[in-house]
Amino acid sequence: MSAAPPVGPATGPGAPSLDKDPRRIAGMFDAIAHRYDRLNHLLSAGLDRRWRRVAVAALDLRAGARVLDVCTGTADLAMTACRYQPAPRAVLGVDFAGAMLALGQRKLQAAGLGRVVRLVRGDACRLPCASETIDAVTVGFGIRNVAETGRAVEEMFRVLKPGGRLAILEFGEPRVPMIRTIYLWYFRRVLPLIGRLLSKHTEAYAYLPASVSAFLTPDALAALLRASGFSEVRVDRLTYGVVYLYVGRKPAES
């Protein structure tokens, strides 16, 4: 019997590039936009919807809140925020991938949310919002792709009103040994294969696990949020650590 294949991150000449040049990242998401939602639901066995609901619930939105969804993609998290009760007054979704936004726009029209959610093309590192105008900021599976993580966190802090909340969802890697081994085999071996077959993109679904492994650890991202001024920073492990939810608050003025 041959030994089980290792499940370490892909390294070496065939490994996916982790270059986060904005044009490259936007181009990659534009290329998979047509399959993005379906693959998300399939590859997470539908759990992505629950993760987004948990993130929105953590914001504890008030009636009339103004929400900003950074790296909004096809607007799933923005739409989840709209369905929360009390519903926000306005949601702005920002992303630099035009094809992702176009799909999101179609979904918003179909759901009758076109008046509540506005999608704009923009960069997380230069948010198109005035300072202290937003009640809650969300980021779903986007922060890992941003070239300058610290700059994006500073921008989110800038646009939040004092007392405003931040919720970030990002993939992680489970710690419980048995679950970790099975999950990493799926995440690093099976998922890239299914993703490549269905999206027809050679790299995007190999980039996903590689970029998760190379990203800040949960402790490091929490430390970055604190260093950027956020208080009440909390890190919740979802689904054994397949996903982490980071919650923080911009301190209210004293």
Ligand X SMILES: C[S@@+](CC[C@H](N)C(=O)[O-])C[C@H]1O[C@@H](n2cnc3c(N)ncnc32)[C@H](O)[C@@H]1O
Question: Interface with ligand X by CB under 6 A: which residues?
Answer: 22, 25-26, 29, 40, 71-73, 76-77, 95-97, 100, 123-125, 140-142, 145-146
* Least gap, CB of 125 to ligand X (angstroms): 6
* Beta strands 231-238; 243-249: pairing state: antiparallel
* Least gap, CB of 251 to ligand X (angstroms): 26
Q: Contact 76/141 with Cβ under 8 angstroms?
A: no
* Least gap, CB of 67 to ligand X (angstroms): 13
Angle between helices 22-43 and 47-57 (to 10 degrees): 110
Tell me the residue nearest to ligand X as measured from the CB: 73
Give the 3-state secondary structure of residue 150.
Answer: helix
With respect to ligand X, which residue has the nearer C-beta, 58 or 77?
A: 77
With respect to ligand X, which residue has the nearer C-beta, 22 or 229?
A: 22
**For the chain, what's the residue count?**
254
- DSSP-assigned letters across all residues of 21-53: -HHHHHHHHHHHHHHHHHHHHHHTTTHHHHHHH
* Least gap, CB of 124 to ligand X (angstroms): 4
User: In whole angstroms, how far apart are CA 241 and each of 36, 82, 95, 171?
Assistant: 22, 26, 26, 8
With respect to ligand X, which residue has the nearer C-beta, 96 or 230?
A: 96
With respect to ligand X, which residue has the nearer C-beta, 183 or 207?
A: 207
Residue found by looking up tokens 């604190």 in the block: 226
With respect to ligand X, which residue has the nearer C-beta, 2 or 110?
A: 110
With respect to ligand X, which residue has the nearer C-beta, 72 or 199?
A: 72
Give the 3-state secondary structure of residue 11.
Answer: coil
* Least gap, CB of 46 to ligand X (angstroms): 13
* Least gap, CB of 186 to ligand X (angstroms): 18
Alpha helices in the chain (DSSP H): 22-43, 47-57, 76-83, 98-110, 149-159, 177-185, 191-199, 204-214, 218-227
User: In whole angstroms, how far apart are CA 65 and each of 118, 208, 251?
Assistant: 14, 32, 17
